[in-house]
Amino acid sequence: AAPHDIAQTLLQSNELNEQFNTFKNSSLISIYLGFDILDEQLPADGTGFIVTENSDLHCDACTWTSRKWKHTSGKQKLLVRMFYKSTNPVYETIKNYSEEELVRVALYDIEKSLGIKGEPEVVEVTNWKDLMPKYHLEHNQAVQALQEKMTNLYPNVYLAGASYYGVGIGACIGNGKNIANEIMATLNK
């Protein structure tokens, strides 16, 4: 399993470049903040929120991780995850911020949206620069066209991973199982 741009570089196949070039990546900054506040003190029910374009917030979304997945906070303290996508105009401003500056942006969004003030006990910042697949309306057809061409050029090389079949954990596991079954079927011939 490799992202489309890495697979394209590894295969170095002029015959596949047109198909590979239909795939694009985008960027995302993810910021986890853990507070010494009980999860039950959140001002609303639910597991997070998505932000509209005309909002005063900088983030695109916020997941209340400690509420959505209880096992992520053994003491039921508040753990949130903030998302900042490259499709958001704010991203151009913050993409080169230091980790400390990014945390300040996230804390502003937390205070503005949830009314929570204070310093987090835990911080984890992940910058997925040009690593998130950016699907388009013809994505499934593009994957099929690439797979068909690869089958002809490289019969025992399979496409696997988020670039092609989805970024969710379930999609990646399903893709892995499907590819494993295809390989087993090929070996059993």
Distance CA 140, CA 164 (A): 8
What pLDDT band is residue 26 in, cutting at 50, 70 and 90? very high
Residues 31-53: tens digit of each pLDDT: 999 998 887 777 777 889 999 98
Return the pLDDT at 74. 72
Return the pLDDT at 54. 81
Question: Which tokens in the block code for residue 41?
Answer: 């003190």
The arithmetic mean of pLDDT across residues 70-94, rounded, is 89
Return the pLDDT at 179. 92
Average pLDDT of the residues of the chain: 91
- In order of start, what are the domains of the chain with their CATH numbers? 4-22+136-187 (3.50.50.60), 26-132 (3.90.660.20)
Backbone phi and psi for residue 109, each to the nearest 5 degrees, phi listed first: -65, -40
Where do runs of H (alpha helix) occur along the chain?
Answer: 4-11, 14-20, 65-68, 89-94, 99-114, 139-153, 162-165, 169-187
**Residue 82: pLDDT over 80:** yes
Where do runs of H (alpha helix) occur along 27-98?
Answer: 65-68, 89-94
Distance CA 123, CA 138 (A): 38
